[in-house]
Structure 1
Amino acid sequence: MSTLKPYKGDYYLWEYIPSIGASVVFLLFFLAATCYHSWKIWQTKARFCIAFCIGGIFELIGYIARAVCYNNTADLIPYCIQSVFILLGPVLFAASVYMALGKVIRSTGGEKYSLIRVQWLTKTFVASDIVSFLVQGTGSGMMAMGGSMAGTAKGITIAGLVIQLLMFSLFIFTSIAFERRMDRFSYGESSPSWKRHLYSLYAISALIMIRSVFRVIEYAMGQKGYLLSHEWTMYIFDSLLMLGVMVIWAFWHPGSLHGGVRPDSGMLPMQEFEEK
């Protein structure tokens, strides 16, 4: 039977004993999902999905470390690993989501209908994602170690999450604007397949945004707050949502998108990009 032990003196890393059952269940789910996405990358040669797959690996590592923590509640290393890797996995999901929008736009030949020039669109969002990754990684690493810098670390982590939320908001606005402009040139097709890919990006973005809002509130409430002191909240508002992201990406995998229109064509084709 595991017991909650202090890390140093009367300082506890955990407010509860982490559930080994829930950790194992989610590490198996993320293992299966990551293996599937690795296979899809090999099958479709969609290199822009590599970051998404790495995000799955981050989640997997995080839950393995969390399972280890069940019998090691006083050990700093597995605590830091699970904290940092579970926090940063969605940032890598976001990187592939940003790149997928550029693929959708190019595959329809609708570059002129994008609010941001396509050659800058991916660079802008991915650059912001890298900044968010570095800020969150720095903050979570400092916060996991506790000590006198805990307050500063919490602020840094929240700042990284806010950057992610702001950029996702801009991303969704850009996507909706592109969709509305493209609707004028649908050629009578009620449900072009590029829209299905776009809607999957909306769904994934919404899940990541909900999770990021949860994390901001969680860290703002502090170590003794309800969210950080009750394990079920993380599994509902983080683990389950991120697993949903991987499932949606699997069903509407953007690796099936083909690029572009002929240089000599003045038409805007609404191609069908069937799943392979």
Structure 2
Amino acid sequence: MGGDCSAQIEAFFRFCPEVAPAVAGLVVYLILALVSGVVSFRSRAWFTLLTPITAACEAAGFAARISFLNAPEYGAYVVMALFLIVTPTLLAVVAYIVVGRLLAMQGAERVGCIKSSSLVRMFTTSDAITLFIQMSGGGLMAAKDRDMATMGESIMLAGLLLQLCFFATFTVVAAHVHANAAKFGLKGQPGVRRLFASLYACIALLTLRNTFRVIEFSQGFDGYLATHEMYFYVLDLVPVSLAVATLTVLHPGVLLAKIAGAQGITAAGNKVAVAAVPEDVEGGAAQLVANMVTVTGTRGSSRDNTP
């Protein structure tokens, strides 16, 4: 599995990874970050900047992978592990905010037993919790001590399992809103069908990727999925990059503006929408990115530079 590599690299990966696929992944995400960033800026739906930020962070992860394969250093491994495993969480936040904006524009007060005004905050908070769990595990996974690395793997698995459960709950909520489109005033609205198509595609792709990661970590460092590089690219890079591409082509900001325009309001300026998706929630999503960088820097500087 893979080409020739040093004993240091093989000790971390349990196989010899190829550089060429990592370069391809870097290029793919750089292109997606650029295109998605342009569309997001033009839409002026600032929360959708989380999509190009996701692509940029994935690109950083692949850049760190390439760096590590060329010159094995602990810091590069931590950056790679954190960004490639944790980053897709940000795409889930985009989905949460989209549903929150939809409900806010329609003045819906509740979705089942959940207050519409609390929906985005609830799911964003749950993702923040799982994100910090995963970051903690990611830092420990690169430890020289095998027991510490195994503990980090278990922590990462717990974070991924929690994230999968929270995301499944959100999927039920999104499906409920779609199934009751007439009740929420969405039936027949222009752009609603494409918006939900974008959401469902994103949900399916992220669920596939997260399920792969859960199975991979449950098998351990020496498991079949972890030691066969092909599965990482097919079941991680492909679904996450497709999710970013979907949110770029069927851009939530553009579609929300179309729905809002049909109702004579602006998606960004609607007072109800702002009330349902407070600035501190959207700002908190951006803070997740800053925390990822901070933790990465802390982990990288707390150890020497040889794995």
Q: Given the two structures, how large is their TM-score scaled by the length of structure 2?
A: 0.77
Q: Let me know the Cα RMSD of the aligned residues.
A: 2.3
Q: Distance in 1 between matches of 2:98 and 2:223?
A: 37
What secondary structure does 2:87 align onto?
Answer: helix
Answer yes or no: is the 8 Å Cα contact 1:113–1:182 preserved in 2: no
In structure 2, the residue matched to 1:253 is 251
Q: Distance in 1 between matches of 2:197 and 2:182?
A: 14
Q: Distance in 1 between matches of 2:22 and 2:186?
A: 49
What secondary structure does 1:255 align onto?
Answer: helix
Q: 1:157 to 1:25 in 2, by over 3 A?
A: same
What secondary structure does 1:23 align onto?
Answer: helix
Q: How many residues align?
A: 257
In structure 1, the residue matched to 2:6 is 5
Q: C-alpha offsets along residues 162-192 of structure 1, whole Å, 9 cap, x if unaligned?
A: 1111111111100111112224577984x84
Q: Distance in 1 between matches of 2:99 and 2:144?
A: 39
In structure 1, the residue matched to 2:22 is 23
Answer yes or no: is the 8 Å Cα contact 1:18–1:66 preserved in 2: no
In structure 2, the residue matched to 1:274 is none
Q: C-alpha offsets along residues 124-170 of structure 1, whole Å, 9 cap, x if unaligned?
A: 11111111111111101111224121222112101111111111111
Q: Distance in 1 between matches of 2:85 and 2:213?
A: 9
Point out the more displaced range, 22-31 or 144-153: 144-153
In structure 1, the residue matched to 2:31 is 32
For residue 78 of structure 2, the aligned residue among 56, 80, 91 is: 80
What secondary structure does 1:229 align onto?
Answer: coil
Q: Distance in 2 between matches of 1:178 and 1:165?
A: 20
Q: Distance in 1 between matches of 2:134 and 2:216?
A: 14
**Can you give the 5+ residue segments of structure 1 that lack an aligned partner in the other structure?**
264-276
1:57 has 2:56 as partner: yes
**Can you give the 5+ residue segments of structure 2 that lack an aligned partner in the other structure?**
266-307
In structure 2, the residue matched to 1:114 is 111
Answer yes or no: is the 8 Å Cα contact 1:136–1:157 preserved in 2: yes
What secondary structure does 2:36 align onto?
Answer: helix
Q: Distance in 2 between matches of 1:145 and 1:185?
A: 50
- State the Cα distance separating 1:56 from its structure 2 match: 1.3
Q: Distance in 2 between matches of 1:110 and 1:221?
A: 46
Question: Sequence identity, in percent?
Answer: 26
